[in-house]
Amino acid sequence: MATLTAMVAFSIDSMLPAQQIIADELSPDAPQLAQLIVTIFLLGLGIGTLLVGPISDRFGRRPVMIGGAVLYIGGAVLGYFANSMTVLLVARLIMGIGSAGPRIMVVAVVRDRFSGREMASVMSFIMMIFGVVPAIGPTVGAGLIAWGGWRFSFVAFVVFAAVGAIWAFGRLPETLAAQNRRELAARPIIVAIKEIVSNPIVMIATIIQTLVSAMLFTVLSTTQPIFETVFDKGAQFPMWFAVIAITAMAASPINARLVPRLGMRKILIAALSVQSAVTLIVAAVMMLDLPISVAFPIYLIWTIGIFFQNGFTLGNLTAIAMEPLGHIAGVAASVILAIATIASSVLAIIIGQIVGVSITTLAAMLFPLAAISLGLMFVIKR
């Protein structure tokens, strides 16, 4: 199950070193289109997240998990044979939609089979694996590219998903009892959307989550091209990304310690205040003609900050949004996650295509997202 959960992170992070190579081959006249390899996958993930919950409540966890993996494999096969950027992006969209099945169903299966400390123990192990993948993903991706070219990454995706699907088919029993299955209907989703929109606190928390995620997704999709084009450090990118990912992993346990003492609102305001100020400073400083020896550490520290910030924001924002929705917690969580993922992916796509590889433009466009998020936090009541 940990392997199936890690499918999303592996599908994103292992492709980062291939962005420039794919751009040179499939879109040499518009290299920024290669950024969409990341953000289109995330868009598909958001769409899939909205669909898999109701489908699994009707047909069970096992078929949705296996079906999602099969759809993902189909997208990966299409990606392997892609001869244009358009076909490759369609393949990545399909992979994103398919990956939502295993990703969401793993949590549902754990919730069905375990409770209390046992559930926490299983989820901790799964999340540990999920957290390690971003640190090693680019290194694995670079190795796959060196071995068989960027298309070989899609062979790895097929193997990765096939192993998970075969395990689920042979070893995973259905965990949703027949008497607990529901009719397939859009009504629960519509009800959840109405409650989200009608509750100001939930709506604001969802908007902030969207803006914060858009910052992360934009930086994620532009990091490798910036390393390659601006700093000429493409070969070192996997190592530096591992540093970024490992450093960012420390944020969540720190947040867990601080929340009982300070509360979620204070932590969110502090994190967004720091991020707003630092992003504005980076936008101003990068307008100067700085030598690479100075510009690179500034960019690296700022990027670490963007990733680190998410450990203090996304979990707390989800908790704030879910607090008034306990009576529809399951479907509400899926809808909020789907809305935030879809909207932030669209924002990241737009910003990424405007930014290209300009750090100044990137920081200038991300500053309003951080500042608006900070302003909205003051609207949320204690």
pLDDT the model gives residue 1: 63
- Helices 36-59 and 200-229, axial angle in degrees (round to 10): 140
Q: For residue 99, what is the domain's CATH number?
A: 1.20.1250.20
Residues whose CB falls within 8 Å of the CB of residue 309, separated by 6 or more in sequence, listed in order: 212, 215, 251, 271, 272, 274, 275
Domain co-membership, 149 together with 195: no
Beta carbons of 2 and 127 less than 8 angstroms apart: no
**Tell me, what's the pLDDT at 367?**
98
Task: Return all residues near 213 (Cβ < 8 A) that are at least 6 apart.
Answer: 310, 314, 340, 341, 344
* 221 and 345 co-located in one domain: yes
Domain that holds residue 217: 186-382
> pLDDT averaged over consecutive 10-residue blocks of the chain (382 residues)?
78 95 94 96 95 83 90 98 97 97 80 66 65 85 94 95 86 73 76 86 94 96 95 94 90 87 92 97 95 96 94 88 74 85 97 95 98 94 56
- Show the tokens assigned to 182: 């529901």
User: Residue 266 is encoded by which pair of tokens?
Assistant: 């204070």
Encoded tokens for 250: 């420390």
Are 237 and 123 found together in one domain?
A: no
Considering the domain architecture, whether residues 223 and 366 belong to the same structural domain is answered as yes
- Picking from 120, 149, 183, the residue at the C-terminal end of a domain is 183
How many domains does the structure of the chain reveal? 2
Residue that finishes a domain, picked among 156, 183, 210: 183
Are 175 and 190 part of one and the same domain?
no
Query: Is 205 in the same domain as 147?
Result: no
Query: Which of 137, 166, 183 finishes a domain?
Result: 183
Tokens 């299955």 found at: 181
Based on its alpha-carbon atoms, the radius of gyration of the chain, rounded to whole angstroms, reads: 20
Residues 121 and 226 in one domain: no
For residue 272, give the amino acid letter.
L
- In this structure, the answer to whether residues 133 and 232 fall within a common structural domain is no
Q: What pLDDT does 87 receive?
A: 98
